[in-house]
Amino acid sequence: MSANAREDILAAAKLVAQAHGYAGLNFRDLAEQVGIKAASIYYHFPSKADLAAAVAKRYWEDAAAYLESLLQNSAKPLEALRRYPETFRWALENGNRICLCSFMSAQFDDLPDEVKTEVQIFADVNIAWLKKTLVAAKVASPRDAEKRARAIYSGIVGAQLMARSRADITLYDNLIESYRTTGLLPA
């Protein structure tokens, strides 16, 4: 087993969950993909719930770090807002997958509590970033920013889901453009 077996397992589980959700996480299949024995996964993750919670937590942590870097490396907050949809487009570009936490949200009733918590944090992180960035870009007032942030987040997640169901990334791009045209996203 490699020194990075835990990271290899998390990476493989992320891709599986983006394509098949929580139900698709199978220790035997993951072990085969990673090149280890299924029992070795239990060393790092005692249960499927532990694995899924760790994958979802890593996912939102990575997203939070990326969003902060996007804001810091953009000339203006408005530029960061314009680029926000890219973060969801990447999953579609990678084998017609969708956001891991969006997929797991669709299976919410079947998730263990610790996984539900991590999935909800992902949405919270995105909405908080959008809210902060909308205010910084002077696109929304502090009073209205949360409602608009929720609308943007749900619109983008919905666009991603529609595009995946058609295996058509141009549908995603067209929906994002329509959000800009109608004013949901800044043009």
Task: List the domains of the chain with CATH numbers.
Answer: 56-182 (1.10.357.10)
What's the pLDDT tens digit per position in 139-173? 999 999 999 999 999 999 999 999 999 999 999 99
| Residue-level length of the chain | 187
What is the number of other CB atoms lying within 10 angstroms of the CB of residue 109?
6
What's the pLDDT tens digit per position in 49-88? 999 999 999 999 999 999 999 999 999 999 999 999 999 9
Compute the C-alpha angle 100/50/164, nearest 5°.
15
pLDDT band at 1 (very low <50, low <70, confident <90, very high): very low
What is residue 102's predicted lDDT score, i.e. its pLDDT? Answer: 87
User: Which letter does DSSP use for residue 45 in this model?
Assistant: -
Nearest C-alpha neighbor of 102 from the set 141, 63, 46? 63
